[in-house]
Amino acid sequence: MKWDSINLYYNQICFYITLGSLCMHCTFWIQVILHHNIRQRSLQWIYSYLFIDILLMSLFFLQYGIRTKDDCFSNTVFSILCTLEAYSAIYLSLIQPYLLVGLNICRYLRIVKSLNVYTRYIKTIYFIHILLYISPSLSFILQFQFGWSMLESGTGAICDLTYSSMSAQSINIMLEFIIPVSLNIIFMAMTLVHIRHSKRTVNAERQVHKRLLLQFFIVYMIWLLLWGPFVLIYQFTKITDRISFYSQIISFCEVFCDPFIFIALDNRFIEALKKSWKMLKNIQRVSQIQPSSRAMARSGF
């Protein structure tokens, strides 16, 4: 299962990016552990998204560890590992845009309808989460059963999915890209229209909502530029093609940027980082005071 020199070169680049991503995500999750004010139901879409990033990184490290060794595997084990390699990244990448749709819809309901769905409809939200995780699996199974997709593996190459039907590729693009992106844009537009024409909202609150919406739009466009190429390109090219390698590298850059993206989306994360920074400075100050006080004690003062 060892990669050839070309695959190894590009995946080494991804490996170093993923190491940096792991550091960034660990820093983010440390903030969540330290500060209770950001452990809230309203942030569950963000945490679900970032948890999927953790899974993506873990699967890549597993894949990298296996693919850089000369170990031989039985046909059964090879088939399982090859299937996992071909499906895992795209499966997890398909869930993430719909998690952003969920976040956007909940914000829309909060601003436009003054409805806190996290208290009134929490069971419905949990059900939607489960549905989001199951649906891509059903889609993959159906496409495989109908012969629309096939698992392809070669010596020294990455296991990949190929599609025998143009209609299947079109459906995938609709489900994986056009629908979630369109839903996000629609709900952002509806929220903006409400904010601009609402007479119930006072000016100060309206400005806050506008600022938050502008923040979300800018961050979403940055995310889309990093996430979109991989989802679009993998449908029409082999993952061993150079353009696919580039899109994969961009996708790993998106994983690296995700903590920054979500910190920019919610001021509570920024406040948590400020508190952590103050804690570090206080610890550093205490550690500097203690040696000097011990030295004074030894000298008799």
pLDDT tens, residue by residue, 205-222: 777 777 778 878 888 888
pLDDT, residue 301, reads: 47
Q: How many domains does the chain have?
A: 1
From the centroid of its chain, how far is CA 196? 31
CATH number at residue 247: 1.20.1070.10
Residue 214 lies in a domain: yes
Q: Which domain holds residue 22?
A: 5-277
pLDDT given at position 292: 52
Mean pLDDT of 44-50: 94
pLDDT at 204 over 70: no
pLDDT at 217: 85
Residue 284 lies in a domain: no
Domain annotation covers residue 285: no
**CA 290, CA 75: separation in Å to the nearest integer?**
62
Q: Does any domain span residue 287?
A: no
Query: Which residue, among 52, 23, 46, has the nearest Cα to 262 in the 3D structure?
Result: 46
Would residue 223 count as lying in a domain?
Answer: yes
Question: CB of 125 within 8 A of CB of 117?
Answer: yes
* 297 domain residue, yes or no: no
pLDDT of residue 279: 84
Give the pair of three-digit tokens for residue 50. Answer: 């970032």
What pLDDT was estimated at residue 254?
92
Please check whether residue 292 lies inside any domain of the structure: no
pTM check: above 0.95? no
Average pLDDT for the chain = 84
* Choice between 294 and 242, residue whose per-residue pLDDT is larger: 242
Q: Which residues pair with 151 in a beta bridge?
A: 161
Is 64 within a domain? yes
Mean pLDDT of 74-96: 85
Q: Render pLDDT for 145-172 as a digit per residue (tens, 0 to 9).
A: 888 888 877 665 678 888 887 888 888 8
